Structure 1
Amino acid sequence: MEPVTVWWAARDAARPGLAGLLDPVERGRRERYLREADRDRFLLGAAISRLAAGARLGVPPEHVPITRACADCDEPHGPPAIAGGPHLSVSHSGDLVAVAVSPYGPLGVDVEEDAGRIGEDVARLLLAPGEGPGGLPAFWTRKEALLKATRDGLRVPLADLRVSGPAEAPRLLSWEGRPDLPGRMAMRTLAPRAGYAACLALLDHPADVPVEERSAEALLAAVSGQQA
């Protein structure tokens, strides 16, 4: 069975030459970020998405037909999508960028730097009754990954979702108003470097689908070699 792949990159892998892979919409979105760190993270997410999807489709990365239409307003600031697949999800936090790619169905990936940034105010919005209070990064990444997989984003309150605790394997226990989703969703804990939590959510995937985590270094190095 073909695996779902999660590609990891550190922010220092961003190189200006990667911008040549982006389409005009992506280049414009990148330039609108005020902070260099944000520009780097967006560049890596977009470039890795194109490289990984292009390899699956057999087309050059700059020709991958990625769209980014927002579900609310149709403006091009939504998550990346390819009609007919493969399915994509991108996340970044701190110095890490994750890109998940699946040939099977919708998915969501989320990574969070465990730097004490989830305070009590956020916790009140994040936790459902019976959840917490410990392990907030795990609860956050699990719920964010689920909301990305369904493409609901933060239009759905995080407390509407109940997930297993940090000491357990990730699992969706319930979703208010969506009793079908726990049976359709698989979840995997990912292994970013120390100081980060990460999770992958897979909607309507084959049972026991393999998940591979890989460094994006070889993908990015191939681009650098072509431009050298």
Structure 2
Amino acid sequence: MELLDEVERARRERYVRPADRDRFTVGVAVTRLAAGALLGVAPERVPLDRTCAGCGAPHGRPVIDGGPHLSVSHSGERVVVALTGGPVGVDVEEDAGRLTEGVAGQLLGPDEAADLRDLGPAARRRGLLEYWTRKEAVLKATGDGLRVPLTDLRMSAPDEPPRLLAWEDRPGLAGRLTLRTLTPGPGYAACLALIDQPDARIREESAGPLLT
């Protein structure tokens, strides 16, 4: 809690469920500790800005003034923080049975639905998770978020390396994206998306040493 500023403490208290408050707190702490180490400043001095671009309220996507670029995601017992030199999006999702057929209709395009049609229940659920995390990571990297229908993006099949195959409104984006499947552990799926960073060295590290 001591690493959270006044704005972050107020946002933390707005979460109803203790688990949500805990995930938010861990995300802020890891962000400040990791970014502070990169910038050579104390964690509490990392210039995090949460101003919403739409309304100006302090509930927007976190941005570090002057860089590095930042993306944060949390689900279940996992919190993922990505710091890079360019636009980045990261998403992690727990396999908790929330991706129903109704959600699949909002997530998959016709070709993607065909990729999963003949799979058994477990493989289909895993495929939905892969599609979800890949699309969310891309939309976070572009800054669009869920303002763009997920069905607008056509991704590679879940059993293939992650790639954006097509996005009608962004015809040149696919060649600028680097996607990487992350390893958050059993019961989870996660994906990282980078824009204009083809030679980036992607390194996954546990936050445990930072937090201790």
Matches within 5 A, 1:22-41: 22-41=4-23
Give the RMSD, CA atoms, in angstroms. 1.0
* Residue identity in the other structure for 2:188: Y
1:190 Cα offset (Å) = 0.3
Single out whichever of 169-178 and 136-145 deviates more from structure 2: 169-178
Find the partner of 1:211 among 177, 180, 202.
202
The alpha-carbon deviation at position 202 of structure 1 amounts to: 0.4
1:110 is aligned with what amino acid?
Answer: D
The one-letter code matched in structure 2 to 1:203 is I
* SS of 1:117 mapped into structure 2: coil
* Higher relative contact order, structure no. (Cα contacts within 8 Å, ≥ 6 residues apart): 1
SS in structure 1 opposite 2:111?
coil
Following superposition, the deviation at residue 84 of structure 1 comes to: 2.0
Supply the AA of the counterpart residue of 2:174. P
Cross-structure match for 2:51? 69
Q: Per-residue deviation at 1:82?
A: 1.2
The secondary structure found in structure 2 opposite 1:21 is: coil
Residue pairs, 1:1-228, within 5 angstroms:
19-102=1-84, 104-132=85-113, 133=116, 134=124, 135-205=127-197, 207-221=198-212
Percent of pairs identical after alignment?
A: 65
TM-score normalized with structure 1 length: 0.86
Q: Number of residues paired by the alignment?
A: 201
Letter in 1 for 2:88: L
Distance (Å, rounded) in 2 between the aligned partners of 1:215 and 1:45: 13
- Secondary structure of residue in 1 paired with 2:178: strand
Q: For 1:141, what is the secondary structure of its paired residue?
A: helix
1:90 Cα deviation from its structure 2 partner:
0.5
Give, in angstroms, the shift of residue 78 of structure 1. 1.3
Partner SS for 2:91: strand
TM-score normalized with structure 2 length: 0.92
Q: Which residue of 1 aligns with 2:120?
A: none
Structure 1 residues not aligned, in runs of 5+: 1-18, 222-228
Map of 1:16 onto structure 2: none
SS at match of 2:151: helix
Distance 1:20 1:28 in 2: 13
1:208 Cα deviation from its structure 2 partner: 3.2
* Offset of residue 96 of structure 1: 0.7
**Misfit runs of 4+, over 6 Å:** none
Tell me the equivalent position of 1:12.
none
